[in-house]
Amino acid sequence: MAKYKQMSPEALALAASRFKVLSEPMRLEILQVLRHGETSVNDLTEKVASTQPNVSKHLRVLQDADLVARRRSGSSVFYRIADETVFKLCDVVCDSLKHKFKEQAAIFA
Amino acid sequence: MAKYKQMSPEALALAASRFKVLSEPMRLEILQVLRHGETSVNDLTEKVASTQPNVSKHLRVLQDADLVARRRSGSSVFYRIADETVFKLCDVVCDSLKHKFKEQAAIFA
DNA sequence: TGACAATATAACCACATAGTTATATGCTCA
DNA sequence: TGAGCATATAACTATGTGGTTATATTGTCA
C-alpha cells in the first residue's frame, strides 16, 4: 500500500481553516473583484451588491487569513490580493466540478 | 487592468460548498486515511479516533460531494477516494501556509 | 428465525457565523 | 473645531452544523 506524508493534527486544522475562509460565496466574489486590482471598501460594496458592514466583516476574515492586505489612502481603504494561490485553488475546484458534471451528463447521453 | 474570467454566482456557490466540505479537520483526516486505500467505517472510526456515528456523518458529507465512493462487502461498507483533486487542493494550501509562516519567521530572524 | 455485528439515521444540544442595524472611529476639508 | 464621508466594530437574530446518545437498518451466521 502506497505511503503518503501524513499531516499533523495542527496542520490539518490550519488547512481546514484556510478552506473555511474560502467556503463563503461572498468572500470568493470579493476575491474575484480584487483580482482585477486593489479596490476600496466602497467600490467593493457596490460591486458585490452587499452592505458595507458585511463587506468589511468578510474583508476582516480574508485579512486575518493573510489572503488580502490593506492600504489606507485618505479616508478610503484599499484592499488587494495578498496570496495568489487562492486562484489556483479555485481553478482546481472548478476543473473538478466541470469533470463531475460532465460525467453526470454523460449518464443521460 | 487585466481581465479574468468571472465565475457566475452559481459557480461561486458550488465552489464555496466544495471548500466547505474540506473545511473540517476531521474530514481532511478521513481523506488522508482513505488515501492509503479503501477503508471500512469501523477501521476509519478507530484511525481517526472518533465515534462511529460521527464518522458516518462526515462520510455522508464527503459522498454527497462525490469526493468518496462506497462499496458494500458483507456487513461492512468500504469507502474510497473518488476525486483525487482534493489532495492537489491540500498541497496548494500547505504550500501557501508554509510560505506564509516562513515569511513570518523571517521577520524575527 | 433469532442473535449479533456493522452501518446509517434521528433527535438533540452547543456553538459558530452570515447578515442586519446602530454606532464608533478616523480622515478630510472648510 | 465642526461637518461630513469612509470604514470598522458592536449587538443582535437566524440559521447551519459538529458531536453525542439512542435507535433503526442491513447483513451474517448459527
Domains along the sequence of chain A with CATH? 23-83 (1.10.10.10)
Taking CA atoms, what residue in A is nearest to B23? Answer: A16
Chain A positions touching B4 (Cβ under 8 A) are 32, 35-36
Count CA atoms closer than 13 A to A9's CA, side-chain side: 4
Q: In terms of residues, how long is chain B?
A: 109
Structural contact between residues B55 and B41, judged by C-beta atoms closer than 8 angstroms: yes
Which residue does chain A place closest to B19, by CA atoms? A23
Give the per-residue pLDDT at A108: 86
Type of residue found at A89: L
Question: What pLDDT does residue B1 have?
Answer: 63
Q: How close is the nearest chain B Cα to the Cα of A25, in Å?
A: 5
Statement: residue A94 has pLDDT above 90? yes
Does B101 reach chain A within 8 Å, measured CB to CB? no
Nearest CA among B87, B85, B35 for reference residue A92: B85
Q: Residue A6's pLDDT is what?
A: 87
CB atoms within 10 A of CB B64: 11
C1' (D11) to CA (A33) span, angstroms:
30
- Measured in angstroms, what separates residue A11's CA from nucleotide C17's C1'? 23
Name residues whose C-beta falls within 8 Å of residue A18's C-beta, 6 or more positions apart in sequence: A65, B93, B96, B97
- pLDDT score at A1: 64
**If you search the block for the grid coordinates 493534527, which residue do you land on?**
A9
Does B59 contact strand C, using a CB cutoff of 7 Å? Answer: yes
- Contact indicator for A79, A27 with CB cutoff of 8 Å: no
Ranges under pLDDT 70 in chain B: 1
Asked whether residue A92 carries a pLDDT value surpassing 90, the answer given is yes
Neighbours of A1 (CB within 10 A): 6
Contact by Cβ (8 Å): A44, A33: yes
Q: Residue A35: which pLDDT band, with cuts at 50, 70 and 90?
A: very high
**Can you tell me whether residue A28 is helix, strand or coil?**
helix
Range in A55-59, A78-82, A105-109, B38-42 the model is least confident about: A105-109
Residue A46 backbone dihedrals phi, psi, to 5 degrees: -65, -45
Arithmetic mean of pLDDT, A66-87 = 97
Nearest beta carbon to residue A20 from set B2, B23, B89 = B23
Question: Quick check: A59 CB within 7 A of strand D?
Answer: yes
Q: Is the CB of B49 under 7 A from strand D?
A: no
Which amino acid makes up residue A12?
A: L
Mean pLDDT of A22-43: 98
pLDDT of A79 strictly over 70: yes
Res. A14 pLDDT band, cuts 50 70 90? very high
Write down the pTM of the prediction: 0.94
Q: Residue A95 and residue B83: Cβ atoms within 8 Å?
A: no
pLDDT surpassing 70 at residue A24: yes
What's at A105, amino acid-wise? A
Say whether the CB atom of A6 is under 7 angstroms from strand C: no
- C-alpha atoms less than 13 angstroms from C-alpha of B27 in its C-beta half-sphere: 26
Is residue B68 classed as helix, strand or coil in its secondary structure? strand
**Which nucleotides in chain D lie closer than 7 A to a protein CB?**
4-10, 17-23, 26-29
